[in-house]
Amino acid sequence: MSGMEIERKFLVRGDDYKRQARKSYRIKQGYICSGHGHTVRVRLRDEQGFLTIKGPSLDGGLSRYEFEKEITVDEAQQLFRLCEPGIIDKTRYLVPCGRHTFEVDEFYGDNQGLVVAEVELSAPDEPFEKPAFIDREVTGDRRYYNSHLRQMPYTLWG
How far apart, in whole angstroms, are the C-alpha atoms of residue 28 and residue 6?
23
**CA distance linking residue 94 with residue 104, whole number of Å:** 6
d(CA 93, CA 100): 13
Q: Which of 31, 93, 144, 154 is catalytic?
A: 31
Q: Is 31 a catalytic residue?
A: yes
Query: What is the spatial distance between Cα 55 and Cα 36, in angstroms, rounded to a whole number?
Result: 9
Active-site residue list: 31
